[in-house]
Chain A
Amino acid sequence: MWDETMIVMLLEGIRDTFYMTFVSTFFGYVIGLPMGIALTLTDKGGITPNRTVYRILDIVINVTRSVPFLILLILVMPLTKLIVGKSYGSTATIVPLTLAAAPLIGRMVESSLKEVSQGVIEAAISMGAKTSTIVFKVLIGEARTSLLVGVTIVLGTVLGYSAMAGVVGGGGLGDIAIRYGYYRYETGVMLVTLIFIVAIVQLMQVVGTFAAKKLDHRNQE
């Protein structure tokens, strides 16, 4: 069973898992980061309060967050086909993964940015800083530790989702685990893929936490 093809398959699985997780998280931030910034700015007590915009974003996020990933995956298949050209394989899985990650990221970014103290924001306002300067230099700059912890959590979650996509032939380690462990009763292969998945999550966690600590100037010695 542990021949060359198996090892190649596992290595490809690892590669595909990384590919799906990182690309989806990246696109998730492309959509989710502006959402989180908009939520922070338009909430009451924000720099540019706007009840309507906040409510709309809030509802969109709540609704999309409530859809279980497996159902979202099937639901967006027409869209996936439209964008990627097929509805299976790791590249195709990036579409639903991105859509699942974006609202989560929006929320995480919002909560990170809201940790920046009002006083610091007001200090910037009092010096005549424009909203764009406050967003990029003050909010994101000062919340970076929390944002980075957020990235780590998102990566872990997206990786978990990507494994779920294995049920419908999503590619990556999850796909292998389901094909061998569930359809062929080869528990050994499944356990090996599981070990890899856990190891990858651990690795990302360690790197993320380390980077966050490095960037934190508030209370390290």
Chain B
Amino acid sequence: MEQVLLEINHIQKAYGTHVVIDDFSLAVNKGEVVVIIGPSGCGKSTLLRCINALEDIQGGEILLNGEEVLKEAKNISKMRQKIGMVFQSYDLFPHKTILENIVLAPIKVQKRTRPEAEKEAVELLTKVGLADRKDAYPRQLSGGQKQRAAIVRALIMHPKILLLDEITAALDPEMVREVLEVVLSLAKAGSTMLIVTHEMAFAKAIADRVLFFEHGKIVEESSHPKEFFTHPVTERARAFLKTFDYETEQNS
């Protein structure tokens, strides 16, 4: 039987009267990779930010392993450690070396020892091909390298689930691949991930399940990504996917 890791029940998110997420529910199984796509400003990023309580919600509940994620709760630090997040703009600490960036939270938040944290940091950096850049500062790295380092920074906390928020959106096309390969290898290793992306080919390759999201609601959901990307059911999803398809545009 599959084990539900993340459970989102009827959440509501609004800024004043502007509703961003409207009665949204989702269950993510352990080891599952769920990809959320949809037009800009549809609330995808907000959804991820709600999941680790960077944003508060106005209704509903978010459960991780049955435990509620609540912004004002006492255990929120513990909960956030279980929910790794990687941002579009990397958000590495500019005055800290890559190694310092990565070991800060394990040492300060999880109270692990420096040698142990550094050892694991180097192991993880080796996996993403950045071991030789551990003493560099973020500004000395390319966008792709920075994003790989940011992924390592999230991984070292041993999160139960990883939230990836448009992590390739700020990258040059050439660097997109090196980052996505890291994510693919994580998926193969069994990581549970919730991914917001505009890279359709990547979504197709990695997703166990695809959600097409618009105006704070799921418009279409598919457990057969290949199917979804070739034959979407809803008219809206078809129109959205068509904007990425330059070939048909030329031939029509």
Contact = CB atoms under 8 A, between A and B. Distances in A.
A141 B95 CA distance: 7
A142 B89 CA distance: 17
B98 to A, nearest CB: 11
B165 to A, nearest CB: 10
Contacts of B81: 127-128
7 contacts: A122-B54, A124-B104, A129-B77, A130-B77, A141-B95, A145-B95, A217-B94
A114 interface: no
Interface in A97-125: 117, 119-120, 122-125
B89 to A, nearest CB: 5
Contacts of B54: 122, 125-126
A129 B94 contact: no
B172 interface: no
Interface string B99-137: 000001100111000000000000000000000000001
Given A127-B153, A217-B139, 4 more contacts: A125-B80, A126-B80, A141-B95, A217-B95
Nearest to B85: A126
Contacts of B89: 119
Interface in A23-69: none
Interface string A180-214: 00000000000000000000000000000000000
Interface of A: 117, 119-120, 122-130, 133, 137-138, 141-142, 144-145, 215-219
Contacts of A144: 95
A47 to B, nearest CB: 11
Contact of A123 (B77, B87, B139): B87
B168 interface: no
A44 to B, nearest CB: 14
Interface string B73-85: 0001111110111
A120 B89 CA distance: 9
A13 to B, nearest CB: 39
B163 to A, nearest CB: 8
B78 A218 contact: no
Given A125-B54, A127-B105, A129-B108, A218 B77 contact: no
B233 to A, nearest CB: 34
Contacts of A215: 95
Given A125-B54, A217-B139, A218-B139, A142 B109 contact: no
A129 B139 contact: no
Nearest to B88: A119
Given A126-B52, A218-B139, A141 B96 contact: yes
Identify the interface centre among B54, B83, B92, B93: most chain A CB within 10 Å of its CB: B93
| 5 closest A-B pairs by CB | A128-B80, A127-B105, A119-B91, A123-B91, A128-B81
